[in-house]
Structure 1
Amino acid sequence: MAKAKQKQTSALAQNKKARHDYSILKTYEAGMVLTGTEIKSVRASRINLKDGYVQIRNGEAILMNIHISEYLEGNQFNHDPLRNRKLLLHKKQIAELAEQTQNKGITIVPLKVYLKHGFAKVLIGVAKGKHEYDKRETIKRRDQEREIAKAVKRYR
């Protein structure tokens, strides 16, 4: 019996600022509708998720404010770097997202982009904004956990 190969899905782009500014409540994996030059730029990791967000319009999830650099070998048919991109989700998932974003302070942010079986996928998270004191507490807790891990490692 041959074992199925486990492909590692390494992130092409990550939104580290999102986990700092928001507490992630739930995550979804979505496909992206991309043009030919866009997917080539994504494969080259020329994508920036920093200020991106997702909006639900007319029963569709739209990824907004994501910068995918123009493909270097592209010609006059190159894409617009900041165009809105449609996300591929099930209707049930889109309905859940639309319902959750009706609450005050809830937004949908992209967390990372990766390739899965040759297709570009984006991990989006339903997020609630953190206050400044929440951010400090998170940093403090992380530092304490690091110190505990150091101490445990030292005594092993």
Structure 2
Amino acid sequence: MARPTHAAFDKKKVVAENRRARFDYYIEDTTEAGIALTGTEVKSLRFGEGSIAEAYAEVKNGEVWLINSNVPEFSHGNRFNHVPKRPRKLLLHEREIARFTGAVERKGMTLVPLSIYFNGRGRAKVELALAKGKNVADKRATIKERDWKRDQARIMRENK
């Protein structure tokens, strides 16, 4: 029997969001992954600092790594402070890693982080998406559709 899917992940405090990802990619599947962090990284994220605007994930040696995410140094940290742009290991089940590996090997698929957040239990999580890149014409169509929906809502408001 198939495992029931979550309607939405339990996001209590969103720290960083990659809003550009939904514009640049077709999102096919999303997964919640844990993230291995050091103490000062967690403190920095709890203060709401962090960016995943240019981040991506890749599979290396059977592990998934979050590359190019920026968690700035903790302001009250000492000499044991963390490196801001280090690769961070994502915690996933082997089945999920195997599924991602197969999809990434296909043409055009990539792993994109959509958001970093703290769940209800206070654990740092990453919403990871399996995505396919859009070309310029698709992006134009997305802009056109978004503008039409905005105009449609304005017209409906005016006619009430």
Normalising by the residue count of structure 2, what TM-score does the alignment of the two structures yield?
Answer: 0.89
Q: Which amino acid aligns with 1:152?
A: M
Query: Does residue 1:115 correspond to 2:114, yes or no?
Result: no
- Find the partner of 1:44 among 43, 47, 53: 47
Counterparts of 1:8 and 1:153, CA distance in 2? 31
Q: Which amino acid aligns with 1:21?
A: D
Counterparts of 2:85 and 2:150, CA distance in 1? 39
Where does structure 1 lack aligned partners over 5 or more consecutive residues?
Answer: 1-6
Query: Does residue 1:129 correspond to 2:133, yes or no?
Result: yes
Alpha-carbon offset, residue 44 of structure 1: 1.2
The residue aligned with 1:18 is: 21
Q: Which amino acid aligns with 1:141?
A: E
Where does structure 2 lack aligned partners over 5 or more consecutive residues?
Answer: 1-9
Alpha-carbon offset, residue 155 of structure 1: 2.5
Task: Report the RMSD for the aligned CA atoms in angstroms.
Answer: 1.2
Query: Does residue 1:141 correspond to 2:145, yes or no?
Result: yes
* Mapping for residues 1-156 of structure 1, pairs under 5 Å: 9-116=12-119, 117-156=121-160
Contact in 1 for aligned 2:33/2:90 (Cα 8 Å): yes
Alpha-carbon offset, residue 97 of structure 1: 0.5
Aligned residues between the structures:
150
Normalising by the residue count of structure 1, what TM-score does the alignment of the two structures yield?
Answer: 0.92
Counterparts of 2:52 and 2:87, CA distance in 1? 13
Q: Which amino acid aligns with 2:107?
A: K
**Secondary structure of 2:105's aligned partner:** coil
Which structure is higher in strand share?
1
Alpha-carbon offset, residue 58 of structure 1: 1.5
Alpha-carbon offset, residue 8 of structure 1: 5.7
**Secondary structure of 1:109's aligned partner:** strand
Alpha-carbon offset, residue 10 of structure 1: 3.4
Alpha-carbon offset, residue 128 of structure 1: 0.8
